Structure 1
């Protein structure tokens, strides 16, 4: 079988070793647990702990804050390897790093970093990022959650929805975007960390989702939730701008996850087509199946090239916003298309949740929606081309 890992001459030896290590972990530890975790809607925290022990949550952070001294490309390699067998575990890592720890690392004070990063980067605790609201999704500037200052406290009121890693037993806090005032007629949006257990902060029951069933996702409500002024993350009024930078990075990571999902579907389709006999002939002998699988391979190849390019630009300190949008668009389409084709090749078996392609079929749809819908990616790309409405 075509081996995309070992034929990729764009990887360094260290990168290839990391990808191989996480791939083996995914096959040997994650995959055998995936069906039961999906069926019971439970995130296996013991597997999360193992991921922490492997250093996956600390990959893109320097050693002096408890990280592994790697880069964002290394993180995305790990996310792709996990996404190939279980998107729920991959998004747990992606959100734990990109939305949980990265805002603290980028915008936190020295005291906040010293307090929070060691456990976050070791996978001993998780953090979430509360942005989306019932009336503020792609239009994040429509945020209605408010935080008013009373003495040395922020008093927070509002609600958030679809928040990943927000209700696990090891979730330590949620960073929320909130309106803290107005300036020149515009909302001043800030980011504030709200620890679990804060009175007035309620993690509502988990969603009953179409996919990503083992991923922890909740709506959140805030009713006069009070936190110290020192829980402000970054400069007041810069929360939205800071979030946009974090979101651009996150789109690369989602692209890597989607590439892994597309490859998982490809591998499953190849294996099944070679074993399945129909009308006395092996399924893979039929040209239509051969061409379908060939297109699946092309999608994986293009998706991987796209996120590799965006991640290399990001790590080189060069602009990457448009390339991240292209990667997210290309790879999420690849994941959804490959899931659809793989399910069709599997026939009735593809409709059974015990098969990975069925789970990928359900899971992959959110890849076209989360971290900015594909329509938003098209908007980013078209604006970069000078096409303004």
Structure 2
């Protein structure tokens, strides 16, 4: 193992923590308060944020969509530049947070900030960013990754930069009470796949990383098995914490990582608007089947330590059963996806230079084709 791990995001976890943001935002800050479709006005979060910011100069920007687009976020960039905003507060789930990471970097960049997404430039500076998490799923509240789409070209791309780590993140599970079943299920699936991307690869020597990943996976399995308790604070508290730890950067440090499920899933979302969590659920089981020989040792380990079975193939079935138990289909046909999906996705991956992905760089376009054909059966 060789790695550098640094996570500068301060976490405020628990009830009534939203009021703590005034401790961390400089008193002379001019704040842009960014949120999504307005659900925060129905669950009390908006009022709590407004109260916490009562001594600040604040502007609001709403309407960040699921799978945030540069078209929307560039409108916010314009406001930041015109009004001399010097602090971004993202209030929402992964989409709002990812959009605000782009916003924080784009606001101090002279060119077209899509450069960060196509890899032609790296952020050299960004505005300070704080986060209030309302929907646990992506772990974006305490990592340095951002996934943003461009509607005009049906592209969904990502960038990583230490410049966009949030300064702080408030995780108050009580704000989850207004989330619907689809959002909770997507969040659980997202966290599960995030963990698998850093775990179901090939054997490594790190007892801690494997053990920690297995603890997260077992926790998520337990939540799925207790789906009927999803309205309780304890259930919601655990999902919020597990989703955070699944992608705060630690469990992937110094061990092989896959991420092919995400690369394929991103293209499904870009072309068809499929929920991120559901795009992962349709791809992952079929990818594990196609790449079984590469992954069978870790699938066996997962079976033994997470599902309490001694069968690598059955581990894949158990994963699929888990998603189905949450009402999440693993069949592309159930989402009305057309038969052009194979051509659309493989062509986009080729265009983006992703012709050999996965931990061994051997998930080639012909294998992606097999994966998608299995997923649309």
Q: TM-score, normalised by structure 2?
A: 0.31
TM-score, normalization: structure 1? 0.30
Higher strand share: 1
Q: Which structure: larger Rg? A: 1
